[in-house]
């Protein structure tokens, strides 16, 4: 009864609609909807009510009703078109366009749909043109930002839009041409942090990749103003201004790698003067008391990044020479700052380390001995000039300077240690009553004992002194540093079990004390860092590292410290983890040489029993459980010169050790390890990049790339993997890189294209010739995925190469997995191009025999691929098909085709039958009744 009433109400609604009484029609349809559950009727009622909505201009209701009809029947063309009309009226042109596009696909000859499609396309283009008209956008944004009465959220949105616009070339140019720089200066004058930040970030975008614009902006704003903004206490502001200066420097020096042509090149003839002025101002910032610690760090970061040569093959090191002559004393002043003295400049935890790294980079960038002698003389004069019997603060600064240099260029530091009065002053400061003096002296002693020869000297002369301080001092800061000095001296023998400096059990006691301080959160971060420094030395002892990884609170305390703003801890944490995972280089022990050394009574390095693989694997498990990956990911993100290439190498070593067991790789991926490895594989030392690339290969080989390397990051993985295909790399690196590339090439054609562009194809082909079975199999599997790419197919189509011959011959090998991969590649190639079907029959006389063996193979996947190749050849040409039918292949196809198609064999039998049907189509065989 209810269904019948619903149908009657629908008819009434239709009559009201014809009489143009749309409200009555809507009422009838609504009543009917409540009475029926029939899907077809429901769809009609919703569609009809949508038509009423269009007539009464209730467009939102019309769109909703049409959507409900579409939910019931996705191909309801009337509902689709009505929703399109409603959405167009609501201004949702892109959604309306999709609906009418679907209508036009379902009914291509409908002129109404085609006309609506054209009209909407024109409207969308016009809307975009108005919406993105840069002049109007720029003007609107500045009006909102400079109007004090604007709402906060509107102002924030305008600021963000302006930043985005400044990053686009067209937008940046329009802002520049529309007096945008002047308006941005007005924003800066407001002194409101959020507006100043927006202005600075917009200027950064405008300066990127445009030398003339960068020069004009630099001259308009003036370097003084930029540096004074960078000198502020606000960390976010300081970093933003640092990025602006970096963008200017990159554009002026050509480091942005963009080509400058025509007017752009003619506008700026020489940028050296501007670059020199920037460098000079950055050096002045180092010694100014008005500059915040944060500002000083950013100045040091910029100098670290832009002064020393990135490539030592470039002859010109004039920037370094200029900084040495005009700024080395200023850098030494920063290195020599003692935070506990009243005269100290504003510093952060990282400032002195950044200055030490800069000194190291400058010294390494010198080309000859005279330049190094000049550098050393400036350092010697500065330090000796500080020695003053009447002023203890100056002496402390002098020793602090030596300590800082020892953290940079070790050779220079050791030379300075040999200067008259330096070691004596250290000893004198150790005995001082002032705790600040003792702190500096103990730190200097720690840094002085870097080399075994130097450590031996200090063990003889300084251990008793350090022990005395350790026993008598009540200051925890001094106690920890003294302990680290003892730790460092105790580990001077490295991982050699037979070269321990201290008595049995001493290192374990020292390590226990370090762990205790590390877990003590009442001690300040800077002091707890020294506990990690101690462990970095002590964990060379296998007993110590085994105890440490079992102390979960101590491990997690170290990981938390690694995530703090104090980046000076990075190297120590990385070193400790390298020791715990045994990822340092170990020289291969040749038994004959060991016997020879014993015979000649030479020292032979001994391996600790707990450094064997089982113990190392257990330590890796414990580190992963404690959350080491999140700490490593955080360390890799450190945007600071303190993350040196050497530290990156250590982190890469740790990652590779953690990735060793395939079962652990899922945990590593889940905690962001895949993403963290990418920058390590692209930048750093050669060894570090190879280790990180190997880690990436291990992850890429077994993980879903979409999860391991989300978004666009997956394309960055390709180059490091391709670099591992180099014949200079070892077999395991080649093999795992091929596995990784196979996995990536199976994901998308865009990735296959990227692999092709990185010129990996010749290397993959090279390994297909390899004698090593696993390498050859991995390369063939990779090629099997790569042949889907059109450009790779063109390589096979080209005349004068043996690529196809190699694939055909590999199909005849004994190895099932190799046959499977080669047959897969051949199946896809012959399916893609008829020419390759003919070519296959010409490359080798064995082709038919190989094909028959594939079609008779015991393994179903190989057999199926052989049958697909047969089908492709049969489909290519009647003459070629005749040749196949006249061979024993017809008998094989007949036997396979007559089999009962059970669940496992269904695809094989079906493909054989399709081959036989093809033969029947040609008339070569006839069906048996």
Per-residue pLDDT tens digits for 284-334 = 999 999 999 999 999 999 999 999 988 878 888 999 999 999 999 999 999
Percent of the residues in the chain that have a pLDDT greater than 70, as a whole number:
91
Q: Are 477 and 497 spatial neighbours (Cβ–Cβ below 8 Å)?
A: no
Residue 131 has pLDDT above 70, yes or no: no
In angstroms, the CA 905 to CA 875 distance is 23
Instruction: Please tell me the least confidently modeled range out of 157-166, 455-464, 489-498.
Output: 489-498
Q: Which of 254-263, 484-493, 791-800 has the highest mean pLDDT?
A: 791-800
DSSP letters spanning 680-744:
HHHSS-HHHHHHHHHHHHHHHHHS-HHHHSTTTHHHHHHHHHHHTTSTTS-HHHHHHHHHHHHHH
Among the listed residues 604, 491, 612, the one whose alpha carbon sits nearest the alpha carbon of residue 540: 491
Q: How far is CA 709 from CA 638, 669, 672, 700, 716, in A?
A: 20, 8, 9, 9, 9
| pLDDT at res. 499 | 43
pLDDT surpasses 90 at 357 = yes
Question: 3-state DSSP call for residue 492?
Answer: coil
Is the per-residue pLDDT at 459 higher than 80?
Answer: no
Residue 404 and residue 674: Cα distance in Å, rounded? 35
How far is Cα 676 from Cα 717, in angstroms, rounded to an integer?
11
Q: Return the HEC string of 755-823.
A: HHHCCCHHHHHHHHCCCCHHHHHHHHHHHHHHCCCHHHHHHHHCCCCCHHHHHHHHCCCCCHHHHHHHH
Q: What is the mean pLDDT of residues 207-222?
A: 90
- CA–CA distance, 866 with 850 (Å, rounded to integer): 9
CA 351 remoteness from chain centre: 27
Instruction: Quote the pLDDT of residue 263.
Output: 42
> Are the C-beta atoms of residues 673 and 702 closer than 8 Å to each other?
no
Q: What is the pLDDT of residues 162-187, one digit of tens each?
A: 888 888 887 788 888 878 888 888 88
**pLDDT for position 262:** 38
* pLDDT tens readout for residues 75-115: 888 999 999 999 988 888 888 998 998 898 888 888 888 88
State the pLDDT at residue 1. 67
Q: Which is it for the CA torsion 105, 111, 112, 115, positive or negative? A: positive
Dist CA 683 CA 675 (whole Å): 14
Rounded CA-CA distance 441/423 in Å is 10
Please, are residues 658 and 629 in contact by the beta-carbon 8 Å criterion?
yes
What distance lies between CA 359 and its chain's CA centroid? 29
Q: How many CB atoms lie within 10 A of CB 900?
A: 7
Q: Phi/psi class of residue 684: alpha, beta or left (left: φ > 0; alpha: ψ in -120 to 50)?
A: left
pLDDT in tens, 639-667: 888 889 999 999 999 999 999 999 999 99
Cβ atoms of 362 and 307 within 8 Å: the answer is yes
Nearest alpha-carbon partner for 651 in 696, 700, 691: 691
Average pLDDT over residues 238-264: 76
Cα–Cα distance, 256 to 267 (Å, whole number):
17
The first and second tokens of residue 346, run together, are: 């504003």
b (16+ CB within 10 A) / e for 335-368: bbbbbebeeebbbbbbbbbbbbbbbbbbbebbee
CA distance 61 to 89: 12
Between 713-723 and 731-745, two packed helices, what is the crossing angle to 10 degrees?
150
Do residues 17 and 54 touch, judged by C-beta distance below 8 A? no
pLDDT at 604 over 70: no
Q: Helix, strand, or coil here: 639? A: coil
Report the b/e string of 842-875 with b at 16+ CB within 10 A.
Answer: ebbeebbebbbbbbebeeebbbbbbbbbbbbbbb
3-state secondary structure of 73: coil
Pairwise CA distance, residues 823 & 860, whole Å: 12
Distance set, CA 760 to CA 77, 359, 719, 729, 824 (Å): 49, 40, 9, 15, 20
3-state SS string for 150-192: CCHHHHHHHHHHHHHHHHCHHHHHHHHHCCHHHHHHHHHHCCC
Q: Which has the higher per-residue pLDDT, 263 or 96?
A: 96
CA end-to-end span of the chain, whole Å? 57
Query: In this predicted structure, what is the pLDDT of residue 490?
Result: 62
- Count, residues in the chain: 929
Per the listing, tokens 């942090």 go with 193
Q: 3-state DSSP call for residue 320? A: helix
636 CB-near residues (< 8 Å, 6+ apart): 643, 648, 651, 676, 679, 680
Please tell me the distance from the alpha carbon of residue 689 to that of residue 724, in angstroms, as a whole number: 10
Q: What is the pLDDT of residue 458?
A: 57
Dihedrals phi, psi of 446, to nearest 5 degrees: -60, -50
Cβ(881)–Cβ(919) below 8 Å: yes
CA separation for the pair 658, 639 (Å, rounded): 24
- Residues 703-718 have pLDDT tens digits of 888 888 988 889 999 9
Q: How far apart are CA 458 and CA 237, in angstroms?
A: 45
What is the reported pLDDT for 259? 45
For Cα atoms 751, 757, 759, give the angle at the middle one, nearest 5 degrees. Answer: 115
Dmax of the chain from CA atoms?
119
Helices 749-757 & 773-786 angle (0-180, nearest 10): 120
Enumerate residues 6+ apart whose C-beta is below 8 A from 472: none
Q: Give me the residue label for tokens 């032979």.
A: 604
582: left (phi over 0), alpha (psi -120 to 50) or beta: left
CA–CA dist 144, 147 (Å, integer):
5
pLDDT at 498 over 60: no
Q: Which residues contact 467 (CB under 8 A, 6 or more apart)?
A: 486
Rounded to an integer, what distance in angstroms lies between the CA atom of residue 744 and that of residue 723?
A: 15
Q: Tell me if residue 929 falls in helix, strand or coil.
A: coil
Q: Please state, in angstroms and rounded to a whole number, the distance separating the CA atoms of residues 214 and 826.
A: 55
657 contacts 582 by C-beta, under 8 angstroms: yes
DSSP assignment letter at 341: S
Tokens coding 169: 């070339």
The band of 904, judged by pLDDT with boundaries at 50, 70 and 90, is confident
pLDDT computed for residue 177 by the predictor: 82
Q: Could you say which DSSP state residue 588 is in?
A: P
- Residues near 799 by Cβ (< 8 Å), separated by ≥ 6? none
3-state DSSP of 387-422: CCCCCHHHHHHHHHHHHHHHCCCHHHHHHHHCCCCH
Question: For 107, phi and psi rounded to 5 degrees?
Answer: -130, 80
pLDDT reading at 829 higher than 90: yes
């Amino acid at each position: 009864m209810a269904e019948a009433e619903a149908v009657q109400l629908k008819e009434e609604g239709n009559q009201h609609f014809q009489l143009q009484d749309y409200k009555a029609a809507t009422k009838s349809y609504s009543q009917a909807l409540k009475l029926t559950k029939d899907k077809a009727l429901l769809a009609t009622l919703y569609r009809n009510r949508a038509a009423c909505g269009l007539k009464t201009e209730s467009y939102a209701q019309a769109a909703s009703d049409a959507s409900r009809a579409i939910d019931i029947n996705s191909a309801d063309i009337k509902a689709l078109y009505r929703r399109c009309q409603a959405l167009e009226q609501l201004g949702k042109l892109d959604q309306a366009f999709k609906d009418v596009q679907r209508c036009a696909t379902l009914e291509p000859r409908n002129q109404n749909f085609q006309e609506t499609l054209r009209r909407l396309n024109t409207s969308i283009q016009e809307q975009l043109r108005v919406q993105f008209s840069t002049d109007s956008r720029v003007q609107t944004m500045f009006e909102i930002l400079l109007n004090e009465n604007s709402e906060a959220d509107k102002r924030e949105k305008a600021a963000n839009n302006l930043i985005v616009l400044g990053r686009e070339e067209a937008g940046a140019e329009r802002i520049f041409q529309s007096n945008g720089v002047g308006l941005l200066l007005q924003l800066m004058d407001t002194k409101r942090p959020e507006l100043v930040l927006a202005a600075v970030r917009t200027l950064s975008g405008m300066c990127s990749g445009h030398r003339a614009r960068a020069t004009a902006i630099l001259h308009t704003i003036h370097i003084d103003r930029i540096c004074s903004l960078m000198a502020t206490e606000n960390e976010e502001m300081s970093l933003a201004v640092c990025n602006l200066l970096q963008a200017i420097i990159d554009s002026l020096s050509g480091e942005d790698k963009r080509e400058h042509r025509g007017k752009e090149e003619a506008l700026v003839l020489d940028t050296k003067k501007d670059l020199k002025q920037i460098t000079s101002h950055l050096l002045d910032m180092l010694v100014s008391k008005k500059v915040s610690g944060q500002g000083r760090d950013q100045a040091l970061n910029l100098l670290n990044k832009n002064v020393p040569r990135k490539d030592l093959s470039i002859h010109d090191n004039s920037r370094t020479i200029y900084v040495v002559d005009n700024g080395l004393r200023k850098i030494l002043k920063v290195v020599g700052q003692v935070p506990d003295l009243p005269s100290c400049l504003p510093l952060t935890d990282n400032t002195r380390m950044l200055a030490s790294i800069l000194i190291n980079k400058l010294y390494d960038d010198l080309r000859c001995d005279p330049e190094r002698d000049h550098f050393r003389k400036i350092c010697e004069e500065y330090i000796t000039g500080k020695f003053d019997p009447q002023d203890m603060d100056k002496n402390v600064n002098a020793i602090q300077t030596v300590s800082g240099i020892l953290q940079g260029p070790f050779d220079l530091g050791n030379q300075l240690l040999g200067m008259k009065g330096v070691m004596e002053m250290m000893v004198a400061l150790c005995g001082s009553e002032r705790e600040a003096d003792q702190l500096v002296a103990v730190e200097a002693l720690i840094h002085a004992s870097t080399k075994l020869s130097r450590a031996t000297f200090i063990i003889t002369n300084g251990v008793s002194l350090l022990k005395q301080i350790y026993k008598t001092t009540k200051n925890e800061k001094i106690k920890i540093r003294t302990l680290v000095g003892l730790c460092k001296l105790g580990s001077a023998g490295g991982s050699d079990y037979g070269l321990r400096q201290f008595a049995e059990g001493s290192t374990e006691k020292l390590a226990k004390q370090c762990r205790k301080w590390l877990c003590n959160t009442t001690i300040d971060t800077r002091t707890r860092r020294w506990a990690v420094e101690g462990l970095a030395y002590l964990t060379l002892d296998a007993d110590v590292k085994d105890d440490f990884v079992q102390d979960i609170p101590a491990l997690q305390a170290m990981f938390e410290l690694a995530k703090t703003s104090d980046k000076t801890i990075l190297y120590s944490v990385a070193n400790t983890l390298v020791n715990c995972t045994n990822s340092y280089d170990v020289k291969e022990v040749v038994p004959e040489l060991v016997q020879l050394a014993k015979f000649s009574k030479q020292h032979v390095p001994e391996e600790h029993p707990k450094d064997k693989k089982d113990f190392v694997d257990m330590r890796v498990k414990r580190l992963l459980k404690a959350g080491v990956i999140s700490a490593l990911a955080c360390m890799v993100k450190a945007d600071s010169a303190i993350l040196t290439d050497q530290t990156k190498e250590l982190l890469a070593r740790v990652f590779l050790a953690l990735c060793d067991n395939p079962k652990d790789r899922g945990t590593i991926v889940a905690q962001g390890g895949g993403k963290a490895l990418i920058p390590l594989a692209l930048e750093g030392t050669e060894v570090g990049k190879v280790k990180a690339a190997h880690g990436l290969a291990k992850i890429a080989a077994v993980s879903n790339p979409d999860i391991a390397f989300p978004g666009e990051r997956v394309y960055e993985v390709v180059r490091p993997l391709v670099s591992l295909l180099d014949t200079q790399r070892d077999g395991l690196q080649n093999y795992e890189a091929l596995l990784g590339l196979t996995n990536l090439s199976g994901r998308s054609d865009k990735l296959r294209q990227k692999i092709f562009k990185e010129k990996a194809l010749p290397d993959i082909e090279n390994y297909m010739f390899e004698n090593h079975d696993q390498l050859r199999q991995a390369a063939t599997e990779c090629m099997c995925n790569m042949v889907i790419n059109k450009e790779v197919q063109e390589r096979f189509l080209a005349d004068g190469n043996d690529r196809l011959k190699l694939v055909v011959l590999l199909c005849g090998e004994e190895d099932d997995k190799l046959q499977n991969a080669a047959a897969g590649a051949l199946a896809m190639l012959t399916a893609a191009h008829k020419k390759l079907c003919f070519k296959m029959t010409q490359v080798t006389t064995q082709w038919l025999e190989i094909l028959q063996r594939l079609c008779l193979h015991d393994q179903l996947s190989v057999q199926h691929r052989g049958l697909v190749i047969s089908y492709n050849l049969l489909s290519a040409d009647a003459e070629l098909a005749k040749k196949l039918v006249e061979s024993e292949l017809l008998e094989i196809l007949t036997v396979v085709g007559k089999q009962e198609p059970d669940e496992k064999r269904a695809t094989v039998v079906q493909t054989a039958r399709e081959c036989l049907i093809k033969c029947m189509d040609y008339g070569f065989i006839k069906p048996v009744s």
